[in-house]
Structure 1
Amino acid sequence: MGSRQVTSWQDRNITVAGLGVSGISAARALAGLGAVVTVVDGGDSEGHRARAAELEAAGISVRLNDAETLPEGTELVVTSPGWKPDGPLFLAAAKAGVDVVGDVEIAWQLRETGAQRRAAASGEPRREPAPWLAITGTNGKTTTTQMLASILKAAGLKTAAVGNIGTPIIDVVTGEEEYDVLAVELSSYQLHWAPSVRAHSAAVLNLAPDHLDWHGSMEAYAADKGRIYEGNTVACVYNAADPATEKLVEEADVEEGCRAIGFTLGAPGPSMLGVVDGILVDRAFVENRQKNAQELAHVDDVNPPAPHNIANALAAAALARAFGVEPRAVRDGLRDFRPDAHRVAYVDEVDGVRYVDDSKATNTHAAEASLAAFEPVVWIAGGLAKGATFDELVQRSAKRLRGAVLIGADRALIAEALARHAPEVPVTDLDRTDTGAMLAAVREAARLAEPGDTVLLAPACASMDMFANYNKRGDAFADAVRELATGSAADTA
């Protein structure tokens, strides 16, 4: 499946759905190419009106408080990633025979325009648009994309981490900076609306139920993830521990000569990357891979060296090696990498107990990976379940648990799973959804913990029942730990 390539944007009637960062980026870029752009959004807050005023000053029409009606004369709809495909606007577009694409698709179509503009501005010969090394998966996308960018930079390449993170991808491909290669994080939403994207190489890190209310089924969710492999030219990177990712490679329509490259936390076979005696090794991009392996880095070069993060590092290394990066740059890039806040982030140690913030673990798959990195654990969990169930998570993690402290709107679902599969684990149900509950949760976790334990915030749920986002939730946890540490110090003074 592909989107109709637009050869000229001049005077084209384009409707942009969404007044967020990606929508504003698309609207400005397309208007700059001569398109007649209308932005629609269901909001009408003060912030919406301020952003609308800025766009209207640039000659872009904005319609607030109505995201359902297709503007008359629309020839193409460009949607922000999160808009559900069965929304009234898109149903109207389908009825009118109008294509719907996302900002990533527009970025892909504007790569050549950007290359021509940069050549004209510099007076230099036109360079080919930067290839894309693309990453998706239920969990670990951002970390792996940032690791990849760090490795590429260590190799001396001009790169940026874009897509679902950082600067809007349209701004990057059309901007003044010339890049050698881009590290592109793509969500399932973005892939759904980007039928023409063809990466140099791509990775699916893992697959677990998520966003099923948006996609409609696990099969549809997986199919959208699998689009990242379509048309790959060099490598399709999959997780050997997750057969569903390998199946997506097998089903993909790739360029002749494109290879399937696996990664594993165990010893790798030929055409794989893996770990041997604490060393990350490559048996894919070496001569005589049946017999030879190339050392890339040590496990301790990965920050933090938790199992799921080592898997992320292997995936990033595979994509970098597919692009021809030397082994030393893999090691140096991993050493230079610093993870974002709230991703398995060490906060402090109080009375011999470590406190770790993984507020970004907003689904069961992420929480399971986080729990697997520590033992024993006092687990702080709960929030909005988003339709998730917790039985498998608890079954697989029960032996690691010293105790559990539950907060948030759907904490009862976790409590019930713990009662079924880990009845011996002490559970504190705080029965609170106010923001102050985090301090109480940390204090209760400290009571349950013993020296040598880890108190881990890995909620397995979204945060919006109590906090604006997972960042605010993680900040509240860190603040509570600091208050606990201050009180502990005062007690021993």
Structure 2
Amino acid sequence: MRTVVMGAGRSGLAAARFLAAQGQSVVLTDTRPSPEPTLELDLAKDGIPGVWGSHPESLLEQCGELIISPGIPPSAPFVAAAHSRGIPVIGEVELAHRVLRARSDGSRVLAVTGTNGKSTTTDLVAHLLRTSGLPAVACGNLGTPVIEAVVAGAAGSIYVAELSSYQLETVAAFHAEGAAFLNLTPDHLARHGNLEAYRQTKLRIFERQDAGDLRVVPVAHPEWWQDAPGAGRNARFGWSECEAWCDGSGRLKLHGEALLHREDLRIPGDHNVENALAAALLARHGGATLEAIRAGLRTYPGLAHRIAFCGEKGGVKAYNDSKGTNVDATLTAIKALPGPLVLLLGGTDKGASYEPLRQALAGKLRRLIFLGDAIPQLTRDLGDLPHDVVPAFDEAVRAALALAQPSDQVLLSPACASFDQFDNFEQRGERFEALVKAWLQ
């Protein structure tokens, strides 16, 4: 019998490579006409045959299990054909969980889901645990497939997994000793059909929990989780008194113990206060000490290119939000910082109006810096606001840092793609951080 892996994305490739390394018979199938030459060579080296361009039902002959990638909807005809034949269908996360639990080496799983903030919270939990000296690995939807992390992980590791609704569709025996459901807003409804189906899929993160496990949920929205499956005990987070909350003075508290003031967090915004509270609950359940949680919250810089704090000089703080490649993302960044702001806008225009930024900037704008190919559109929409036009990226950043005053925040959140001057937003953000580093010296 062989295993068929459907989808040659990062998750599918990781599953196929693991199975092939175990000496199992595995076939990879993808709708792309052909793999890239380097991938084709790598698959041949790993002994993984591929079927490209379609998913012929003949692959299900002698198939003992089908592993589908998160991008594959369970309603796909090939998946339905597998079900009709009685072939088990799982995802890479379920495969990783099976492998991990078979080892019985004392490792544990902490998991995070929700519409927004999953990646930051997952990464922060791992940071808090490592600050406490515990072997923690962030994995799942934010980057490293869980199976890759499990294969590389040492005995007794704590795997902090970000799980999307797509990944949770295909869990079966998956069990997390601690799991968080952060929030819920309409998303992926084309896949799930409606908000209630989406919510129910998110709740599957809790379904195998027992009484010793922790269910982390928002105190303000019990309607999201009151019917959650599993037997985990609730630990709530939010803005009213509960297990982890931020009081009216801005102090974060965990089980009645003061942690720090929200201004001591390096990740700004109300949304990141909530992320920090949820992360603290999971990390404490995972064994982190209160002292380590305090220290970790103070030192966590945020994910790269997402309102990431880059440094401070003379009371001026610099933030890299190069991932703010559209107006909505830049709105989030503006709202997260108190101002006054020196905001760098521009790059490759996407055709949307920049007018929505106007209201968010009211009362907190020091100056705008327009740069890159989008200068004409920015000038049209926001040109009546205080601004400078500095087309080249390096000169624009230097200009922003030079005109900022004490207590200002210099924010790169361009509301544009990066392709006019860079290959991608990562490269743009790295250049910004390099320029800030030079300014700090």
TM-score between both structures, scaled by the size of structure 1: 0.70
**Structure 2 SS opposite 1:319:** helix
Inter-partner Cα distance in structure 2 for 1:363 and 1:251: 36
| Paired amino acid for 2:170 | W
Say if 1:349 and 1:150 are closer, same or farther in 2 by CA, change over 3 A: closer
Are 2:204 and 2:229, in contact at CA under 8 Å, matched by a contact in 1?
A: no
Are 1:295 and 1:327, in contact at CA under 8 Å, matched by a contact in 2?
A: no
| Paired amino acid for 1:304 | I
Give the 5 Å matches for 1:77-476: 77-85=66-74, 87=76, 89-90=78-79, 92-93=81-82, 98-115=87-104, 127-128=105-106, 130-165=107-142, 167-175=144-152, 177-233=154-210, 234-240=213-219, 243=221, 246-255=222-231, 258-264=232-238, 266=239, 268-275=240-247, 277-283=249-255, 293-299=256-262, 301-347=264-310, 355-361=318-324, 367-372=330-335, 373-377=337-341, 378=343, 380=345, 398-401=362-365, 439=393, 442=396, 446=400, 451=405, 453-458=408-413, 469-475=424-430
Residues 450-487 of structure 1 show CA distances to partners (whole Å, capped at 9, x for unaligned) of: 6454443335677789965431342465578799x79x
Say if 1:176 and 1:370 are closer, same or farther in 2 by CA, change over 3 A: closer
Say if 1:345 and 1:424 are closer, same or farther in 2 by CA, change over 3 A: same
Say if 1:136 and 1:365 are closer, same or farther in 2 by CA, change over 3 A: farther
Residues 404-452 of structure 1 show CA distances to partners (whole Å, capped at 9, x for unaligned) of: 659889x98x999x79xxx975799x9xxxxx977399479959x7645
Say if 1:17 and 1:59 are closer, same or farther in 2 by CA, change over 3 A: same
Inter-partner Cα distance in structure 2 for 1:408 and 1:206: 36
Are 1:195 and 1:227, in contact at CA under 8 Å, matched by a contact in 2?
A: no
| Paired amino acid for 2:413 | A
| Paired amino acid for 2:338 | F
Shift in Å, 1:39: 0.7
Are 1:105 and 1:197, in contact at CA under 8 Å, matched by a contact in 2?
A: yes
Inter-partner Cα distance in structure 2 for 1:102 and 1:460: 35
| Paired amino acid for 2:271 | H
Are 1:236 and 1:261, in contact at CA under 8 Å, matched by a contact in 2?
A: yes
Are 1:383 and 1:461, in contact at CA under 8 Å, matched by a contact in 2?
A: yes
| Paired amino acid for 1:203 | A
| Paired amino acid for 1:308 | H
Aligned residues: 432
Equivalent position of 2:20 in the other structure? 31
| Paired amino acid for 1:39 | L
Inter-partner Cα distance in structure 2 for 1:465 and 1:94: 47
**Structure 2 SS opposite 1:251:** coil
Inter-partner Cα distance in structure 2 for 1:249 and 1:229: 10
Shift in Å, 1:396: 5.7
Are 1:135 and 1:202, in contact at CA under 8 Å, matched by a contact in 2?
A: yes
Inter-partner Cα distance in structure 1 for 2:190 and 2:326: 14
**Structure 1 SS opposite 2:303:** coil
Say if 1:106 and 1:408 are closer, same or farther in 2 by CA, change over 3 A: farther
| Paired amino acid for 1:254 | G
Shift in Å, 1:184: 1.4
Moved more, 83-92 or 309-318: 83-92
| Paired amino acid for 1:206 | N
- Give unmatched runs, 5+ long, in structure 1: 1-10, 116-126, 284-292, 431-435, 487-493
**Structure 1 SS opposite 2:36:** helix
Residues 242-295 of structure 1 show CA distances to partners (whole Å, capped at 9, x for unaligned) of: x3xx4332121121xx3332222x4x4143433464532123xxxxxxxxx212
Residues 28-49 of structure 1 show CA distances to partners (whole Å, capped at 9, x for unaligned) of: 222344532101234466x733
Say if 1:163 and 1:253 are closer, same or farther in 2 by CA, change over 3 A: same
Are 2:27 and 2:49, in contact at CA under 8 Å, matched by a contact in 1?
A: yes
The sequence identity of aligned pairs, in percent, is 35
| Paired amino acid for 1:280 | L
User: Superposition RMSD on alpha carbons, in Å?
Assistant: 4.4
Equivalent position of 2:10 in the other structure? 21
Inter-partner Cα distance in structure 1 for 2:29 and 2:136: 33
Say if 1:281 and 1:480 are closer, same or farther in 2 by CA, change over 3 A: closer
Inter-partner Cα distance in structure 1 for 2:423 and 2:173: 35
Inter-partner Cα distance in structure 1 for 2:32 and 2:421: 22
Are 1:438 and 1:476, in contact at CA under 8 Å, matched by a contact in 2?
A: no
Say if 1:33 and 1:49 are closer, same or farther in 2 by CA, change over 3 A: same
| Paired amino acid for 1:54 | D
Equivalent position of 1:62 in the other structure? 50
**Structure 2 SS opposite 1:173:** helix
- Give unmatched runs, 5+ long, in structure 2: none
Shift in Å, 1:344: 1.6
Equivalent position of 2:37 in the other structure? 49
Say if 1:346 and 1:133 are closer, same or farther in 2 by CA, change over 3 A: closer
Inter-partner Cα distance in structure 2 for 1:220 and 1:384: 35
Inter-partner Cα distance in structure 1 for 2:274 and 2:111: 16
Moved more, 373-382 or 308-317: 373-382
Residues 10-56 of structure 1 show CA distances to partners (whole Å, capped at 9, x for unaligned) of: x3x221123343222211222344532101234466x7333333333
| Paired amino acid for 1:235 | L
